[in-house]
Structure 1
């Protein structure tokens, strides 16, 4: 399979992921600290702060926090996408680090293949519909 050369470079992807994982873990540590001090952290969702309407990803932090505490029902209710984020935060940094240490490209190649796979409307449209349904559910729940 020939991979598209226009897809983001390996170094750029690994830099973006490293920053994203660092920020994700930093945010979780902050939220865990806020929870232990019985305070509520700020809402960073620009869409919700401006419009008052939750975005499709609203509730993911609460979902990941619920997963950390073993509350799978609470995680699902907060936002089912939180399970994907939790898996990504658990697997992604290890995979990235292993690629860097072993001088491999497996994460980058998998990313390229996934991006090509997702370009097919037969796959992309149903996934987009799931995100839209999740967004409607977030609005209905009044997150």
Structure 2
């Protein structure tokens, strides 16, 4: 059984998000939405706040609305778009299977993910006017 690389896993997650974002408005008919558990309990948004809204907006072609809800959706969309052909080429044998990441590479990816989460959280705090007002 072939293992999937981190970008392939992110792309697979992005594909599931795109499918859910396409189906969600039809299933709910716009009558209800999923609340953010952290924001509901504490009033503080999480770094992923707005991703559902952003995913639905990007699927509908509303790029400005997607950016306003959570700009991280564009990174997920880019990885998803790039991953599809990568998986097909690897399945066809045109590309070698992924190599495991080294410990320094995993550490670097962890730092990048942490910085992206922090930037997203700061964006959400600013967008939702949470925290001290200057």
Structure 1 stretches of 4+ moved >6 Å: none
Bigger relative CO (Cα 8 Å, ≥ 6 apart) = 2
What are the residue-to-residue correspondences of 1:84-123 with 2, within 5 Å? 84-102=75-93, 104-105=95-96, 108-109=98-99, 112=101, 116=105, 119-120=107-108
C-alpha RMSD of matched pairs (Å): 3.7
Native 8 Å contact 2:54 2:70 kept in 1: yes
Unaligned runs of 5+ in 1: 1-9
| Number of equivalences | 126
Mapped pair 1:67 → 2:41: no
Distance 2:15 2:90 in 1: 17
Q: Which residue of 1 aligns with 2:123?
A: 137
Q: Which has the higher helix share?
A: 1
Residue 61 of structure 1 aligns to a residue whose secondary structure is: helix
Displacement of 1:65: 2.3
SS at match of 1:33: helix
Unaligned 5+ runs, structure 2: 130-134
- Given that 1:64 and 1:83 are in contact with CA atoms closer than 8 Å, whether structure 2 keeps it comes out as no
Out of 25, 30, 53, which is 1:38 matched to?
A: 30
Provide TM-score, normalisation by structure 2. 0.64
